[in-house]
Amino acid sequence: MNAASHPVDRVLPRRQMLTLGLQHMLVAYIGAIAVPLIVASALKMSPADTTVLISTALFCSGISTILQTVGVWKLGVRLPILQGVAFSSVGPVIAIGLTPGVGFAGVCGAVIGAGIITTFAAPLVGRLRRLFPPVVTGCIVTVIGLQLFPVAYQWAGGGDAAKLQFGELSFLAVALVVAVVILAVNRFANAFLRNLSVLIGLVAGSLLAISLGMGNFTNVAAAPWFTVPYPFHFGTPVFAIVPVLTMVVVMIVQMVESMGLFVAIGDIVEKQVSEEDVVRGLRANGVASAIAGTFAAFPFIAFMENVGLVILTGVRSRWIVAVSGVLMCVVALVPKIGAIVASTPSAALGGAGIAMFGVVVAAGVQTLAKVDFEGNRYNVLIVGFTIATALIPVMAPKVFAHMPDWTQPFLHSGVVLACLVSVLLNALLNGVPAADPVESHVHADAAHASPMARECD
């Protein structure tokens, strides 16, 4: 299948592009605003500055998404990847922002400096593409889904705001209704509605939640109608050596994670991801982060939640995700709309999350099904050790509590651990290929493709 006819490059009718793009944006929105909210709270920012931080994060997420999906010159991996603020940057950003004499201007300078450095380092890191055969990418995709389950369960129980009411039957009922609606739409509806199953489920669950008194729209009334993100809102960036180097370390970790995600998502959408593709994607992350620093935003990485949506709908067009990037920019300019989206009941998100994250795990298992376990017993060890290690941050996060501070960014991300452990074990046990594999690790036989993907393509 040539590039021009590949489902990833397919342009759908406008109505489908808009509705499917909206679906992606809704799924990503809560995660997109979480980091700026956490940072603003930790740095004790005013409500006005908090609004600015949220708007700039959304705006730059949209720009970064467009850059990755559409691609410009030697930038962008050109896959259906929605970009969002990386959670791994929260700790360092807060630490830099609280440093006397540095402040938030130092955060902006660190993000800009690290973005520039990682942009030029992309070709060096991209050479590691050969270290990601199916046994590695299968582990990564499986771990992506498994580590997202606690998030879905937290949402289904009512979210952080539920507190003492967490886990009440009303919350679980809403989550169950969303999951059932998604299943019913996929079973009985036509192809177009099946592609919108998550959006339909969220709407149904939200209406039920509101009828049960779960709706909270106080932030909608307080949100302004319009705001315009502009560079250097918090003053001229401060470029200090230690903060910049700290952020470089964080972004190196994110580069390792991103590289694994690029290759894994390429497997999921059945499109070859070459070393040059990886370099373009990493370079785009660096450029987007440098731009984000000028707008008081943070480093970006692929949102794993949207990977599940791609699998569940079977629609692999990168242009749909590009539309979601445009919608992110629009919502950033109109905070009132963003506040409405943010009012989506957590329980409804939980039902959708269980469906989406479950199919991510299934996609990982599907990739691992191509791996030779009978003729190569080393692959069993690679998968077993990788998944067992990668789930430590999720199931027992205090295990690494006494490790040195510089190791924490590597040890508190299940995806990073999955990348490091699987790559290392595969290199030690199976050896390293002499060159970047030309063949795609995609399902050459249509029998291996998911029924939804074949139907929608």
Question: Residue 80 has which token pair?
Answer: 């259906």
Question: Residue 161's pLDDT is what?
Answer: 58
Residue 452 domain-assigned (yes or no): yes
Residue 112 domain-assigned (yes or no): yes
Instruction: HSE, CB side, 13 Å, CA atoms: give it for residue 37.
Output: 8
Residue type, 317: S
Residue-wise pLDDT tens digits, 58-85: 899 999 999 999 988 889 999 998 888 8
Question: Residue 436's pLDDT is what?
Answer: 55
Kindly indicate the confidence band of residue 163, based on its pLDDT and cuts at 50, 70 and 90.
low
| Number of separate domains in the chain | 1
Residue-wise pLDDT tens digits, 176-212: 999 999 899 888 888 777 777 888 888 898 889 888 8
Residue 283 domain-assigned (yes or no): yes
Question: Residue 141 has which token pair?
Answer: 């995709």
Residue 150 domain-assigned (yes or no): no
Burial call 427-449: b when 16+ CB within 10 Å, e when fewer: eeeeeeeeebeeeebbbeeeeeb
Residue 111 domain-assigned (yes or no): yes
178 Cα distance to chain centroid:
22
Question: Residue 456's pLDDT is what?
Answer: 46
Angle at CA 319, nearest 5°, toward 37 and 280? Answer: 75
Residue 146 domain-assigned (yes or no): no
More reliable by pLDDT, 2 or 124: 124
Residue 199 domain-assigned (yes or no): no
The 3-state DSSP class for residue 172 equals helix
The 3-state DSSP class for residue 228 equals coil
Which domain range does residue 332 map to?
10-134+213-345+359-431+446-456
